């Protein structure tokens, strides 16, 4: 069936199992772009029920420009080019590289260290791990506070006091950790 290329005509297409449309020729081009229709999709002029594939229609080349015309001697099948596998050829890169001396990591690290010293970016290792005043205060408060709490529980010589002394020591330690490193780190 010959379909007119007139843009006033509208077309129906069978997409899946349903008749869809009507579409203009530009609408069909959009469906091709979206991948909704293929060269084998059946189309018809709106109102007619004679469907034909896009491949055999007059504007197959417009919708599918890469679609090849079937050969006269073999209708429905395109010629396929045969390719043969050849043996892979590899270059030996390792043989082409110039020979280099042995790489010594300690020499490289020593050169980097000398460049740090020359540029003034040499840091004294003694100041690198300095303990902050807050850490010193934390350990003093932790040790003295726990000695007072546990020592007070033991000094009362009562089983309940000793248990509450150790429980209080745990709560004190948790509260001190939270206040020194949880709350104070934000400010």
3-class secondary-structure state, position 21: strand
Dig out the tokens for 85 from the structure.
Answer: 């596998």
pLDDT at 14: 81
- Report the percent of the chain where pLDDT is more than 70: 71
| 38-43 long-range Cβ contacts below 8 angstroms, 24+ apart | 39/63, 39/64, 39/67, 41/13, 41/14, 41/15, 42/13, 42/14, 43/3, 43/11, 43/12, 43/13, 43/14
Q: Binning pLDDT at 50, 70 and 90, where does residue 146 land? A: very high
Identify which of 53, 33, 31 has the alpha carbon closest to the alpha carbon of residue 42: 53
Find out whether 122 and 116 touch, Cβ atoms under 8 Å.
yes
Burial class (CB in 10 A: 0-12, 13-18, 19+), 187: exposed
- Report the percent of the chain where pLDDT is more than 90: 20
Find out whether 11 and 25 touch, Cβ atoms under 8 Å.
yes
Higher-confidence residue of 57 and 2: namely 57
Mean pLDDT of the chain: 77
Residues 61-90 have pLDDT tens digits of: 777 777 765 544 444 455 555 656 666 666
Domain boundaries, the chain: 11-63, 133-186
Q: Output the CA torsion sign for 146, 151, 156, 158.
A: positive
How many CA within 13 A on the CB side of residue 150?
13
* pTM of the model as a whole: 0.34
Higher-confidence residue of 11 and 74: namely 11
pLDDT at 71: 47
Higher-confidence residue of 14 and 72: namely 14
* Mean pLDDT, residues 52-67 taken together: 77
């Amino acid at each position: 069936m010959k379909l007119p290329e007139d843009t006033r005509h509208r077309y129906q297409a069978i997409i899946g199992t349903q008749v869809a449309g009507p579409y203009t020729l530009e609408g069909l081009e959009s469906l091709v772009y979206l991948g909704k229709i293929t060269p084998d999709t059946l189309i018809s002029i709106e109102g007619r029920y004679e469907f034909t594939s896009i491949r055999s229609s007059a504007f197959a080349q417009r919708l599918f420009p890469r679609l090849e015309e079937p050969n006269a001697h073999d209708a429905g099948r395109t010629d396929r080019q045969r390719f043969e596998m050849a043996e892979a050829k590899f270059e030996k890169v390792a043989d082409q590289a110039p020979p280099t001396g042995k790489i010594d990591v300690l020499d490289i690290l020593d050169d980097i260290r000398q460049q740090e010293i020359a540029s003034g970016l040499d840091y004294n290792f003694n100041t690198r791990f300095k303990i902050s005043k807050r850490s010193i205060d934390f350990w003093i408060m932790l040790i003295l506070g726990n000695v007072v709490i546990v020592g007070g529980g033991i000094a009362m010589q009562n089983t309940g006091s000793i248990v509450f002394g150790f429980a209080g020591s745990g709560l004190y330690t948790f509260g001190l950790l939270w206040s020194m490193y949880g709350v104070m780190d934000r400010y």
